[in-house]
Amino acid sequence: MKYFYTLLLTLFLSTTFAGNGQPYQIYNAKGKKVTYKEMIKQLGKSEVVLFGEYHNNSLGHWLQLKVTESLGQQHALVLGAEMFESDNQQGLTNYVTSKINEEEFAKEVRLWNNYKGDYRPLVEYAKSNQLPFVATNVPRRYASMLFKGGMEALDTLKIEEKAWIAPLPFPYDPELPGYKEMLTMFEAEHVNENLPKAQAIKDATMAHFIQRNVEEGKLFVHYNGSYHSNKYEGIFWYLKNYAPQLKVATITMVEAENVDHFEKLNQGLADFILVIDANILKSF
């Protein structure tokens, strides 16, 4: 079986899409159409690619695999993902280096519920090609500690626990639009000033582990929710804070009824914007 995507692609081809019948269209930051080949060429000039996704968009996940394969034909790669927490690095490494089997992997690593259909192909690609795969995200329990007790709660962590997060104190700018917006996204009883800080510790930690694992002559491809890198904020902002010299490119995805029409509000979201048909199959 060629992963889950062989069946998925068959579904794509048998589905009627809006506009010109294409399920997606690629645009640059200014809203100009670009080809897949042009995008791959430009991404290859960077040192880090942040691939922002919708977690449940099946076509988006297929595109992640295809982009990774295309980049891997031209460059040595290092892969990394939000979907793996940093304290699970050993289990992830053991699996992609074939030291443990898949059953053992599932016991050692906290896998997302949609792992098999959406992220397994990327891990299997890394395993098949002997590529490093970095678990970049902060362990969820530490983000929860920050949300409940503020940044000072992290000072109570043991030295070995602090190894799983960005160095403390990590930089934080509450005026970044994405963090300010978070305070308006939820009902008042679920919002306090620690909410965007809990997001920031994720962004900072992912940037920290990306920057720490960048290798000369290799391209680091990182998969994360689009909110973590849209508008050159989040992970991108922290990467530029930690390592200003890094060449970082970004991809994001949006959904639309007509992929041939680019909404002005999407300008500047990323270097490349994948407009995907809104009727595409969702993975959950």
pLDDT greater than 90 at residue 13: no
Q: pLDDT of 158-189, one tens digit each? A: 999 999 999 999 999 999 999 999 988 876 66
Distance CA 85, CA 205 (A): 10
Q: What is the pLDDT of residue 12?
A: 44
For the cut 70, the answer to whether the pLDDT of residue 61 exceeds it is yes
Q: How many CA atoms lie within 13 A of 277 on its CB side?
A: 16
Of 48 and 9, which is predicted with more confidence? 48
Q: Does residue 53 contact residue 280 with C-beta atoms inside 8 Å?
A: no
Q: What is the mean pLDDT of residues 35-43?
A: 98
Say what the pLDDT of residue 189 is. Answer: 64
Instruction: Give the confidence band of 191 by pLDDT, cuts at 50, 70, 90.
Output: confident
Evaluate if residue 60 carries a pLDDT over 80: yes
Q: How confident is the model at residue 6 (pLDDT cuts 50, 70, 90)?
A: very low
Residue 219 structure tokens: 């391209």
pLDDT in tens, 215-255: 999 999 999 999 999 999 999 999 999 999 999 999 999 99
Pairing of strands 248-256, 272-277: parallel
Nearest to 48 by CA among 212, 219, 231: 219
The pair of structure tokens assigned to 21 is 């019948």
pLDDT at 8: 47
Share of the chain above pLDDT 70, in %: 92
Burial class (CB in 10 A: 0-12, 13-18, 19+), 224: buried
Cis peptide before 177 (omega within 30 of 0): no
Identify residue 81 by its one-letter amino acid code. Answer: A
Q: What is the mean pLDDT of residues 180-205?
A: 88
According to the model, what pLDDT value does residue 3 have?
46
Question: Domains of the chain (ranges plus CATH)?
Answer: 5-262 (3.40.50.11550)
192: pLDDT confidence band, cut at 50, 70 and 90? confident
What does pTM read for this prediction? 0.92
Q: What is the pLDDT of residue 9?
A: 47
Q: Taking the alpha carbons of 234, 238, 239, 244 in that order, is the dihedral positive or negative?
A: positive
Please report the pLDDT score of residue 5 as a whole number. Answer: 46
Distance from C-alpha of 32 to C-alpha of 171, rounded to nearest angstrom: 34
Nearest to 228 by CA among 216, 218, 238: 238
